[in-house]
Structure 1
Amino acid sequence: MRIGFVGLGKMGRPMAQRLVEAGYDLVVADSAPGATEGFTAADGFEDVDLLILMLPNSAVVEKVLDDLVPALRAGTLVADMSSSEPLRTRALAVRLAERGLRFVDAPVSGGVRGAVAGTLAVMTGGAEADLAAIRPVLDVLGRTVLHVGPVGSGHAAKALNNLVSAATLAVTVEALRVGAAFGIAPETMNAVLNSSSGRSNTSENKVAQFMLDGSFASGFALQLMAKDVRIAIDLARALEQRTELGDRAEEQWTRIAAEVTPQTDHTRMYELLGGPR
């Protein structure tokens, strides 16, 4: 299988590197200067069997495909591993099918460390036959590969997962801040959470590792988390589903995302939340 891989950012580059190390023949592309350095140069995507996209959002995915689709041969499988919008993903799949192209969505969770280690969680949406065809590729990238439904389901599941993650992170930070104001050291309060029913991925894998040590280096940007939260809430509204807590989380993350840089790590919410009323 020859693979085209577009998007060599913080997540895409280690994912592409793992595929090279697994023996796959890769054609890579990225708009950033020097991003493709270290990979074998190639002329184009005309003879790829699988095209993987690891891009910032649906708009960029659609723009890239507008440029690449004319070069792809009929039957090529396109896998969008970006954090895209589920309803736009479904519409995109229809347009690609009209051009004779197959499509699956396969977004990931697990951060840069997971991309480097090949321990990502991959949430897939699409036809079972198409997903079976690329399962060996996904197994190189992730420890868990879940087929969650038809096209668009992977992107929906990813956004909803990050809605839960963002809301949990925020309320954990608030609990740590209130505890500190009362005189409970954050380290102690986090130990309470981890030994009790308040335990979460945030308390186990982010507080001590990236917040309390001041490194804020999880590798996942705050603005990207805010984007995923907005995708989840937009989906809920399109489906006419109430999301009272989700709406509050979306308001909070969107407001703070507008005040930081694209490089700001999402764990810096520990500094950006809390304080006196």
Structure 2
Amino acid sequence: MSNKPVAVYGLGNMGYLVAQRIAKHFPTKVADLDTAQVQRARDSFAAQPIADPKDVSDVHAIVLCLPSPAASQNVLKQIAPHLSPDTIVLETSTVNPDDIHASQKILTPFGLRIVDASILAGVSQMEAGTATLLLGGDESDIATTQSVLNAITEKQIYFGPSGAGAAAKVINNAVAHAVMVVVAEAGALATASGVSCEKLISLLADPQMGLHRPLTHRYAERILGNNYAGGMPLDAARKDSTLALELAQSLGVPMFAIQGSHTIYEIASAAGYGRDDYAAIAKVWADWGKPTVPAQ
């Protein structure tokens, strides 16, 4: 299918690089509200501007890299009636599963399908070819568009049915953004305490220390394995969390994420999990009917 064009909607910082990478393997058509970006793509890698929805009637795949779910769905409403039934939409924008499903509803009357191919990367990673695509959707549709996906990046993780890749991206970003707050708080607390920030970074970066162990040991081994025996008791973790809040209060350093996360230790202790390993905070979500892992 490499002789058929691929259309890219959205030429922002990321979308432009996506189109540029695709253009190394496919004739590429592009659209963006910024006409200067369209011209830049035309001059740089011979992209063909999309002037009318009918211009995409011959494409192999539609790649969306747009700033909002509404923008993606607006484009699909315009072009769906003109697409060939074998055309597959690749949604690379950051959206929720419900947005993927809403887009599918637009496409279904025309016999069209969508794959979530969420981009996990910064601009520099996309440019270097080290980005990762988080995929969700029908595996046969992914196979049909594999050459296009590979043109974007060969690093890909398949998460499951439609919407799963999009959900994985949103969850990853939520963790990154929350950790960013925790790290900023830690830096402020370290500075106020006279602790070297450079040495603190080295400490936290150690695979056996604070940033890594909650994921690699407590979630991956204890929570997934439903093993809360031994280890650091939850009440001890609660005590340490209290000490951190006391330190921050004594130094006048505002806490947001660290203070907010202390609450779950209080709830878990009150629920009777104080002697379990502190990974047992996960039991609280299960008590609320929202377990953090699938049923064993």
Q: What is the TM-score when the length of structure 1 is the normalising length?
A: 0.69
In the aligned structure 2, how far is the partner of 1:122 from the partner of 1:25? Answer: 21
Tell me what 2:116 maps to.
Answer: 105
Which residue is equivalent to 2:102? 91
Residue 27 of structure 1 corresponds to which residue in structure 2?
A: 29
The one-letter code matched in structure 2 to 1:113 is S
1:167 equivalent in alignment to 2:178: yes
The structural deviation recorded for 1:97 is 1.7
Q: What SS class does the counterpart of residue 122 from structure 1 fall into?
A: strand
Structure 2 runs not aligned, ≥5 long? 213-288
Structure of larger gyration radius:
2
The Cα shift of 1:170 comes to 1.1
Contact 2:57–2:83 (CA under 8 A) maintained in structure 1: yes
**Secondary structure of 1:47 counterpart:** coil
Q: Is the 8 A contact 1:177 1:186 kept in 2?
A: no
Of the three residues 170, 180, 191, the one matched with 2:202 is 191
Conserved? CA contact 1:27–1:41, under 8 Å: yes
**1:29-108 map, 5 Å:** 29-36=31-38, 37-39=40-42, 40-42=47-49, 44-108=55-119
- TM-superposed deviation, 1:241: 4.4
Partner amino acid, structure 2, of 1:41:
Q
- When residues 3 and 165 of structure 1 are mapped into structure 2, their CA distance, relative to the original with a 3 A threshold, is same
Which amino acid in structure 2 is aligned with residue 7 of structure 1?
G
Q: Which has the higher contact order (CA 8 A, sep 6+)?
A: 1
Which of the residues 10, 15, 32 maps onto 1:12? 15
Task: Deviation per CA, 1:54-99: give whole Å up to 9, x if none.
Answer: 0112111111111221221222111111011211211321331221
Q: Which amino acid aligns with 1:25?
A: P
CA distance in 1: counterparts of 2:147 and 2:48, whole angstroms: 24
- Report deviation, 1:14: 0.9
Scaled by the length of structure 2, what TM-score is found?
Answer: 0.65
| Residue in 2 that maps onto 1:157 | 168
SS of alignment partner, residue 4 of structure 1: strand
Instruction: Output the CA distance in 2 between the equivalents of 1:197 and 1:157.
Output: 25
Contact 1:57 1:85 in 2 (8 A): no
**Does the 8 Å CA contact 1:93/1:151 hold for their aligned counterparts?**
no
- Dislocated runs of 4+, deviation >4 Å: 240-243
Q: Does residue 1:148 correspond to 2:159, yes or no?
A: yes
Tell me if structure 1 keeps the 8 A contact 2:97–2:163.
yes
- Structure 2 equivalent of residue 220 of structure 1: none
What do you get for the CA RMSD once the two structures are aligned? Answer: 2.0
Encode CA deviations 1:160-184: one digit per residue, 9 max, x unaligned. 1111111111111111110111011
Deviates more, 1:30-39 or 1:115-124: 30-39
CA distance in 1, matches of 2:108, 2:23: 29
Q: CA deviation at 1:42?
A: 4.1
Task: Deviation per CA, 1:120-178: give whole Å up to 9, x if none.
Answer: 11111111011011222222322421111111111111101111111111111111110
> Deviation at 1:192?
1.5
For 1:123, what is the secondary structure of its paired residue? strand
* Separation in structure 2 between the aligned mates of residue 91 and residue 108 of structure 1, nearest angstrom: 20
User: How many pairs align?
Assistant: 204
The code of the aligned residue for 2:29 comes to V
Distance in 1 (alpha carbons) for counterparts of 2:177 and 2:49:
39
Matched residues in 2 for 1:129 and 1:98: separation?
19
Q: Does 1:128 align with 2:139?
A: yes
Tell me if structure 1 keeps the 8 A contact 2:31–2:49: no
Give 3-state SS (helix, strand or coil) of 1:155's partner.
helix
